[in-house]
Homo-oligomer: A and B are copies of this chain.
Amino acid sequence: MISLQTYLQERSAGIQKALDAYLPKADTYPPLIHEAMRYSVLGDGKRIRPVLTLAVNEMLGGGDGQAMIPACAIEFIHSYSLVHDDLPFMDNDDIRRGKPSCHKKYGEAVALLAGDALLTYAFQLLGTLEFSERSARLIREIAMAAGTTGMIGGQLLDIQSGKNRSNLEVLDDINRRKTGQLIKVSCLAGALVGGASPEQESRILRFGEYLGFAFQVVDDIIDGNGYLFFMNEQEARKKAEMLVDKAKDELSVFKTTGEKLRLIADSILERKC
């Protein structure tokens, strides 16, 4: 069995190649928009969401071809959300993934359009999924996770709450929407293309839910905000560990086939950036 590190490197490389191949070439007319799209997607990135889609699909014995489509579509959606969040009247971030953020490099107008284009392109790609009831459901689920009940809703609540989160419940709700839903739907995508049974699907969904939650707690530990306004670092780390344990428990029915995904769950706790 290959090590987790080798596995993650291999999958990341495969995802990077697929993202590059799916995106229009940089010289496609009009070039500026395609350059900006590629700039925003193809930099360094942990690719945690597409890795989850591929790993869930593999756990179920699914082939690679179909899983790569939602994996990359979700990564395009994640990338668009970063481009729009970085805009001056949003989080106003000048640096993203170690490079100037999209609007710093291309200006606000192009960044707005590049984000819009990545979101649009994600659904164009999803429209190429092999045709089944499950594909149609997957399109709806991804749209819901990215929409006002999910990511966009979380972003709005985040803006409204300002830096002063009144209580832990509000913070949990924002995180569940802003980060959790897209991570959860990444797992669901793997379940749907991998042909999960209803029972398997429920477990994978709960796995994704706990994992998304843990991911955000670790994010806050790294950034020194969020949960650290309500607890100290040790308590936050305990919370994350407990969530990862709960996530792994959901995979107990998958004996050896679930091993890789359990290791991925553990690796969430090791993140340093």
Contact of A156 with B126 at beta-carbon distance under 8 Å, contacts A117-B148, A143-B121 already known? no
- A32 interfacial by beta-carbon distance below 8 Å: yes
Closest to A159 in B: B109
* Contact (Cβ within 8 A) B147 A110: no
Q: Which of B37, B90, B119, B123 contacts A139 (CB 8 A)?
A: B123
B153 contacts A30, C-beta separation under 8 Å: yes
**Chain B residues with CB below 8 A from A128, complex form:** 136, 140
| Interchain CB contact under 8 A, B131 and A136 | yes
Q: Mark A152-194, 1 if CB is under 8 A from B, else 0.
A: 1101110110000000000000000000000000000000000
Contacts of A109 in B (CB 8 A): 89-90, 159
A119-143 CB contacts (< 8 Å) to partner B: 119-121, 123-124, 126-129, 131, 133, 135-137, 139-140, 143
> Does A8 sit within 8 A of B, measured CB to CB?
no
- Judge if A24 is at the interface, Cβ distance under 8 Å: yes
Pick from B89, B117, B144, B155: contact of A108, CB under 8 Å: B89
Please measure, in the bound complex, the distance between the C-alpha atom of A160 and the C-alpha atom of B110, giving whole angstroms. 10
A/B interface sample: 19 pairs, CB < 8 A: A32-B156, A33-B152, A33-B156, A37-B148, A89-B112, A90-B109, A110-B159, A113-B155, A113-B156, A117-B148, A117-B152, A119-B119, A120-B148, A121-B148, A123-B123, A124-B143, A127-B136, A128-B136, A135-B136
Q: A124-B143, A126-B139 are in contact. List 17 more A-B contacts (CB 8 A).
A: A30-B148, A30-B153, A33-B152, A87-B112, A89-B109, A89-B112, A110-B159, A113-B155, A116-B116, A116-B119, A117-B147, A123-B126, A124-B140, A127-B139, A127-B140, A131-B133, A131-B136
Which of A's residues lie within 8 Å of B, judged by CB?
24, 28-30, 32-34, 37, 80, 84, 87, 89-90, 107-110, 112-113, 115-117, 119-121, 123-124, 126-129, 131, 133, 135-137, 139-140, 143-144, 146-148, 152-153, 155-157, 159-160
